Amino acid sequence: MGLVLSITDKDFSELLQDFYDVMKQEKQEEAAMLADIIDTMKKDIRLEEVLIKADLLTIRYQVMQGELQPAGYLLEEFEERGHDLSQQNEYFYKYFKGQVLFKKKRWKEALRYYEQAELYITEDEEKADFYYKLSHAYYRTGIPALSVLNANKALRYAASYKQQYHLAKCKLLLGLNHLEIRNFEQAEFLLYEALDSQHNIDETSLDLASMVHHNLGLLHFVQRKFEKAVDYFDQAVHATPCSHYLKSLYYLTESLFRVNHHSEAMKYYQIGLTKSKEKKDMVYQWAFAMLHKQFVDCDNFEAVWAEGIAYYKAIDDSESVHYYSLRMADYYTLKGEEEKANYYYRLAVL
């Protein structure tokens, strides 16, 4: 597929399809270029169905950019105007609304819109992307059986249409599902297959490769093989680009603490704290602060972890609440403080 750089190359509908195709592959620069062209050309378009499609794809573009607030506003405006939607536009509306909700970590609501969108899919070539995202939503809601089922569907469509990027993403997601159920050998096999599926060296593929390295690190981390985990997290952190930099940095730091590489761990702790402050990322500011209390300033461990968990609870970050509450509960169990342990165990499963 070649990029469209002038109105003489293709008509507007085909341009929109190009725009959607590059977004599905997370190609930021190409998408930005096409977004500008579409915005310029849109004023000359009269066919309502095509204009609606353009508006919906603009929402999808905002999702790709991580601009969730503008995406939300555009969705609200779109809904307020009211439209008679074609089958494809009905699909886009429900699918993209699901994506906005997913990015906001409202997994169950996202899942509901994805399930509705499935009724309107018109193209088989679209199904690798759709079933991958549906699988990811099931994974996030803790339903591995349905996640695996839909990831395998996505895998088949990706293979049929030679969609290598989606093929790799599906194998990564299947690996994560096996990791979730502690099937470590199969998880590792699938994660390596995800790496082997990557034949390109563009930024999108490199970022996906770094994500696979992160999850290989996680695979060894949960097995308490911290030396190996360090190697993989280190590869992820030093990859360019790395869209999950703070997350990998956090796990690298903890792994280094756990293998008693204290000075190196402190180096990465300082980097993590500084970067999270620069990004105004309170989630990771708390994460690094809690890590410091766990391994360095242990006298303040209980107080700071209690505050951190309360913060995550206040912002409705259920994933972090679960992660830290479970650890806190284990800590109090070992101390023999049953009442506090029970409190955090309950918090972990809410």
Residues 118, 22 share a domain: yes
DSSP secondary structure letter of residue 123:
-
What confidence score (pLDDT) does residue 67 get? 93
Residues 104, 2 share a domain: yes
* CB-based contact 159:167 (threshold 8 Å): yes
Domain assignment of residue 246, yes or no: no
Mean pLDDT for 60-80 is: 92
What confidence score (pLDDT) does residue 275 get? 96
Mean pLDDT for 280-285 is: 96
Q: Which pTM does this prediction carry?
A: 0.90
Of the three residues 98, 122, 146, the one that is the final residue of a domain is 122
How confident is the model over 138-176, as pLDDT tens digits?
999 999 999 999 999 999 999 999 999 999 999 999 999
Average pLDDT for the chain: 93
Mean pLDDT for 119-128 is: 95
Residues 92, 14 share a domain: yes
Residues 19, 65 share a domain: yes
Residues 159, 142 share a domain: yes
What confidence score (pLDDT) does residue 241 get? 75
Position 5 confidence tier, pLDDT thresholds 50, 70, 90: very low
Domain assignment of residue 327, yes or no: yes
* CB-based contact 321:291 (threshold 8 Å): no
Backbone angles phi, psi at 141, to 5 degrees: -90, 5
Number of domains making up the chain: 3
Give me the CATH number covering residue 42.
Answer: 1.25.40.10
In this model, does residue 21 exceed pLDDT 90?
yes
Domain assignment of residue 62, yes or no: yes
Residues 25, 52 share a domain: yes
Domain assignment of residue 252, yes or no: no
- The residue to which tokens 């096409």 are assigned: 34
Residues 142, 103 share a domain: no
Distance CA 239, CA 201 (A): 12
Report the range of poorest mean pLDDT among 242-246, 260-264, 325-329.
242-246
Tokens of 293: 């209390």
Residues 86, 137 share a domain: no
Residues 274, 235 share a domain: no
In this prediction, what percent of the chain has a pLDDT beyond 70?
96
Domain assignment of residue 259, yes or no: no
How confident is the model over 230-261, as pLDDT tens digits?
999 999 999 887 889 999 999 999 999 999 99
- Residue 130: which domain range? 124-199+206-239
In sequence order, the 6+-apart residues with CB closer than 8 A to the CB of 176 are 139, 187, 215
Closest CA to 172 of 128, 144, 212: 212
Backbone angles phi, psi at 3, to 5 degrees: -70, 145
Residues 147, 52 share a domain: no
Residues 75, 7 share a domain: yes
Tokens of 37: 């062209």
What confidence score (pLDDT) does residue 9 get? 37
Domain assignment of residue 300, yes or no: yes
What confidence score (pLDDT) does residue 219 get? 98
How far CA 25 is from CA of 17, 135, 139, 218, in Å, comes to 13, 17, 21, 25
Domain assignment of residue 256, yes or no: no
Tokens of 10: 């293709």
Domain assignment of residue 258, yes or no: no
Residues 12, 92 share a domain: yes
Mean pLDDT for 108-114 is: 97
